[in-house]
Structure 1
Amino acid sequence: MPVNQLYADIFLTQESARCLLCHAPACTSACSEKLDPAGFIRAVRFENKQNSYRHIKTSACESCDAPCEKACIHYDFSIRIREMAQLARTRETKAKEADLSIDFCGIPCENPFFLSSSVVASNYEMCANALRAGWGGIVFKTIGFLQPKEVSPRFDATKKEGTPFVGFRNLEQIAEHALEENLFYLKKLKEDFPTKIIVASIMGQTDEEWTELAKRVTDTGVDMIECNFSCPHMSAHGLGADVGQTPELVKHYTELTKKGTHLPVLAKMTPNIGHMEIPAIAAMEGGADGIAAINTIKSISGLELGKMAPPPHIDGKSAVSGYSGKAVKPIALRFIHDIAKHERLKGVPISGMGGIETWYDAAEFIALGCENIQITTAVMQYGYRIIDDLISGLKNYMAENGYKNLKEFAGSALSNLVNADKLDRDTVVYPVIDKEKCIGCGRCYISCADAGHQAIRYNEETKKTQVLAKDCVGCHLCLLVCPCTAISTGKRVRKPAHMTV
């Protein structure tokens, strides 16, 4: 990659991260060409650079006096939109598209993107707005006969090095509206959006409640039922994760749900367990048509030492509760893999969730076997509008890589995941430092010296680094910490004799 292209990628990424992602963006309102600079920045932010140019005309931006930048309300200094547009010019190619429609559990879906059962899908107006925006369906916030009382405040976020929202903790319970009101919302949503997929999430406290809830939501005309076996912090006994950790209960309540409906049933799994495939198998034995995973992870996101309580604290107290957001994606992907590769679960439809923000995140879940995607935390941060880049980014990626539809793409990465004892341990890949890109910061040297194999030499005079092949084991920690992508992977070779002893 030429140095100027390296600069372009870093600049575009960093500048888009500064954007406030305003509700009514002043930059777009100020554009004399009636373009959408806010949409352009948002597409870059959400890993959709290939399609970002469709919101602007770089030729017009180059000759413009940038009223968009003058109107920008950023509290620091204006987003450098014109320079971003100029750097994006090299990406102006015609976007390609693949078919995102799919039959999930026998139900035709226009695209795989659903709101997951949560606060983002908790009344008619919210769900209707999302469906109008382009979401393929919604999983309505879990309903039951219980009408819980909520605490205030009930959210907290984990931050790191200027990133304000790495992970998210919540103390939300199931739907706070009365059962009859929720049933009305479900019925009206299906009536008003007949081509969209409406999923009712249910949670009972007794055998009778599971069957009765299944009957009641079926009567509203919804397309599918999701059994919430996994909420990590319900205040009432015997609910949520208490069920999901007990395969016998998962099977039993799935059977009771199927008894009350003819609709497809998803069993939503808890990650607060060592082997998710065990309750997943129990759910399928109970008659489930598919698996949804993962729900939030039991957590304490931190302590506010001044109050000696973890936020959010309620009158000085708090409780263990669910953790979500980008930070949980690696855990979610692991569980999706475990389910998809298990002999007794192969071919079972999977609805995946857990840390999905961009089309790229979604593609990772699909490549591991998911045919449906559910999202909450990213919507809480950025709103329903993220659906635009989810759809266009995924369509373009699939088309460029020869996938005509989601069925072809789903599960395509599974064969490349093997047991650790099957990995090649007789070869090594050495890192390669690009002297032109290297800025001499020494980050690779520090990490290798203090946490690696002391295999990088740093020249104090020239500020340049060098890999010492005789000491390097090819761990690639240096590549991960390099802030300017100056380190890449070399060619795989046989390990030298001193490494095979």
Structure 2
Amino acid sequence: MIPGGKGNRKYLQNCALCLDAPCDKVCPKALEPARKIRSIWFENENGAAVRLPQENVCAACEAPCESACLMGGEVPIRKVMQFLAEQVKPELGQAVADDEAILQTELCGIPLENPFLLASSVVGSNYDMCARAFEAGWAGVSFKTICAFPIREASPRFSAIYSADGSMMGFKNIEQLSDHSVAENMAIFRQLKKNYPQKFILASIMGRNDEEWTELSRQCQENGADALELNFSCPNMMEEGLGSDIGQVPALVERFTAAARRGASIPILAKLTPNVARMSPAAEAALNGGADGLSAINTIKSLMAVNPDTYVSSPDVHGRSAVGGYSGNAVKPIALRFVAELAQNPKLRGLHLSGMGGVESWRDALEFMLLGAGSIQVTTAVMQYGYRIIEDLKSGLAYYLHEKGFRQVHDVVGLGLDSVSDTTDTLERGTIVYPKFNRKTCIGCGRCVISCMDGGHQAIFLNEGRRPILNAKKCVGCHLCVLVCPTESICSSGKRISQDKGLPSEA
């Protein structure tokens, strides 16, 4: 059995997520197994299963898809398809997941066909890229930051750390801004607006002084931008006093937001840096300067992968490296924390929040929305998997909304904020929630015992049949065992028991 959630990736880690996958081409029933696998990878099992025929046609198939697999048949394609047909499809609560009208929303009053935008970066840096993204289904783009000064990039400029399934968990870049001239970028805006009038163009800009902020704002508005995003957060600038250097000084944020406002009447979003203890001071300054919304977060200053032979961190540029911006799924908890902070600040009520930082799946996007984000921006996942991820972002979110009975995507925005506190002082501390063991699926590996003994409270041991036994008198309900179990055979019991009562000595 292949369980649900992002844990599915460990069953599919041999899949290369191919372009024009051979398995699709040889499927006798044209079931698009590659797309189904990709949907599972991005936590959209329902969206994959809903497109299958009622009959399980894979059961008697000779699986030419596995023979055609470029990974030498190491991907259990037939097993995956049967899992969808036999376990997911019968449990579906609705027949279709393709009704995208429910995803329609707005950004500062401007309609969006869905909440998903490309974040300002290389993924939206020329006409061709934006056009292909629009054709794929993205609602808009925050175009790579436009500036009036020359940009020269280092090579190489990317680095990454990987998870056990081979995907990039954390990503570092030392890339800067658009290397096109202002005139070239304005021509791109005009062409995009001519050919894709319904798509949203968020023009990211960065100036060196008041005059440049004002002039860039004016030109972007005149050439078709729907809104502006002020880059107060890039950590990679060659010149001092730009990017995150501005975002860390609220007075400068207010000053340059006001300068941009003098050049344009369209909505303005301030893109804020996470390289601060709290983001609210800069956000409030942006509001005072005339901002209509906020974008968070940009990348986090980082170093990674120090070579044990050369002693140089990655990326290695002729024997030198530098602090760069960290992104990817690993930064999502930090991004969520800042988005929640902004959404809970009463002084910022009414401002649009555009959330980003580690979004790969529709579930990731939903978490940002539940904590206050009205739109979602994505970069690193697109760099790794391509514009095609929009299919599962939209399908997965639409299915969820229909299944839960929401009428529009905006209905979920902020629903999780009441559960969030800045400190742990508000948490209930009088009860324990004990773990619950499924001994039928447990394989007796003892990982829970190891973690509890060496990182917990010595409350679990294996019996003679290599099955876990809980000593409730020692268990404090930390749930470390739940997190480390490789077969997901431990879960929360869901029952809160007074610490004064406890369970029997063994459970």
Which category of TM-score, normalised to the shorter sequence, fits these structures?
A: over 0.9
- Distance (Å, rounded) in 1 between the aligned partners of 2:492 and 2:66: 39
Equivalences for 1:35-434 in 2 at 5 Å? 35-57=31-53, 59-74=56-71, 76-89=72-85, 90-92=87-89, 93=92, 94-96=95-97, 97=99, 99-418=102-421, 419-434=423-438
- Distance (Å, rounded) in 1 between the aligned partners of 2:492 and 2:385: 35
The alpha carbon displacement at 1:207 in A equals 1.1
SS of the residue corresponding to residue 12 of structure 2 reads helix
For 1:16, the equivalent position in structure 2 comes to 12
For 2:450, the equivalent position in structure 1 comes to 446
Amino acid at match of 2:201: I
SS of the residue corresponding to residue 369 of structure 2 reads helix
SS of the residue corresponding to residue 497 of structure 2 reads strand
CA contact 1:427–1:492 (8 Å) conserved in 2: yes
- Distance (Å, rounded) in 2 between the aligned partners of 1:449 and 1:239: 49
The alpha carbon displacement at 1:11 in A equals 9.4
Amino acid at match of 1:59: N
SS of the residue corresponding to residue 62 of structure 1 reads coil
- Distance (Å, rounded) in 2 between the aligned partners of 1:177 and 1:255: 26
Of 231-240 and 109-118, deviating more is 231-240
For structure 2, the residue ranges without an aligned partner over 5 or more in a row are: none
- Distance (Å, rounded) in 2 between the aligned partners of 1:312 and 1:9: 32
The alpha carbon displacement at 1:128 in A equals 0.4
- Distance (Å, rounded) in 1 between the aligned partners of 2:461 and 2:13: 33
- Distance (Å, rounded) in 2 between the aligned partners of 1:5 and 1:224: 44
- Distance (Å, rounded) in 1 between the aligned partners of 2:245 and 2:282: 12
The alpha carbon displacement at 1:391 in A equals 0.1
2:25 corresponds to 1:25: no
- Distance (Å, rounded) in 1 between the aligned partners of 2:29 and 2:458: 55
- Distance (Å, rounded) in 2 between the aligned partners of 1:109 and 1:9: 28
The number of aligned residues is 493
For 2:500, the equivalent position in structure 1 comes to 496
CA contact 2:472–2:502 (8 Å) conserved in 1: no
CA contact 1:11–1:84 (8 Å) conserved in 2: no
CA contact 2:13–2:166 (8 Å) conserved in 1: no
- Structure-1-length-normalised TM-score: 0.95
The alpha carbon displacement at 1:60 in A equals 2.2
Of 219-228 and 300-309, deviating more is 300-309
Question: Aligned in 2, Cα 1:10/1:265: closer, same or farther, shift over 3 Å?
Answer: closer
For 1:473, the equivalent position in structure 2 comes to 476
Of 65-74 and 131-140, deviating more is 65-74
2:461 corresponds to 1:464: no
The alpha carbon displacement at 1:53 in A equals 2.2
SS of the residue corresponding to residue 153 of structure 1 reads coil
CA-atom RMSD in angstroms: 1.8
SS of the residue corresponding to residue 449 of structure 1 reads helix
SS of the residue corresponding to residue 432 of structure 1 reads strand
- Distance (Å, rounded) in 2 between the aligned partners of 1:244 and 1:133: 33
The alpha carbon displacement at 1:54 in A equals 4.3
- Distance (Å, rounded) in 2 between the aligned partners of 1:132 and 1:349: 26
Amino acid at match of 1:429: V
Question: Aligned in 2, Cα 1:307/1:162: closer, same or farther, shift over 3 Å?
Answer: farther
The alpha carbon displacement at 1:95 in A equals 3.2
The alpha carbon displacement at 1:5 in A equals 7.0
- 1:366-389 deviation line (CA, Å, top 9, x unaligned): 000101000000000000000000
CA contact 1:230–1:240 (8 Å) conserved in 2: yes
- 1:190-215 deviation line (CA, Å, top 9, x unaligned): 11110010111000011110000001
- 1:342-388 deviation line (CA, Å, top 9, x unaligned): 12112321000000000000000000010100000000000000000
Question: Aligned in 2, Cα 1:354/1:403: closer, same or farther, shift over 3 Å?
Answer: same
The alpha carbon displacement at 1:468 in A equals 0.4
Amino acid at match of 1:448: C
- Distance (Å, rounded) in 1 between the aligned partners of 2:196 and 2:456: 56
- Distance (Å, rounded) in 1 between the aligned partners of 2:5 and 2:140: 34
CA contact 1:36–1:55 (8 Å) conserved in 2: no
- 1:78-113 deviation line (CA, Å, top 9, x unaligned): 322112111111212323456111121111100000
CA contact 1:16–1:42 (8 Å) conserved in 2: no
SS of the residue corresponding to residue 163 of structure 1 reads coil
- 1:145-193 deviation line (CA, Å, top 9, x unaligned): 0121011100000124353411000011000112211111111111111
Sequence identity (%): 46
Amino acid at match of 1:51: G
SS of the residue corresponding to residue 294 of structure 2 reads strand
- Distance (Å, rounded) in 2 between the aligned partners of 1:205 and 1:300: 27
- Distance (Å, rounded) in 1 between the aligned partners of 2:287 and 2:367: 24
- Distance (Å, rounded) in 1 between the aligned partners of 2:416 and 2:59: 42
- Distance (Å, rounded) in 1 between the aligned partners of 2:224 and 2:311: 49
The alpha carbon displacement at 1:237 in A equals 2.1
The alpha carbon displacement at 1:13 in A equals 4.1
Structure 1 runs of 4+ aligned residues shifted over 6 Å read 8-11
Of 288-297 and 486-495, deviating more is 486-495
- Distance (Å, rounded) in 2 between the aligned partners of 1:261 and 1:423: 46
- Distance (Å, rounded) in 2 between the aligned partners of 1:86 and 1:222: 47
- 1:317-345 deviation line (CA, Å, top 9, x unaligned): 01101000001000000000111001211
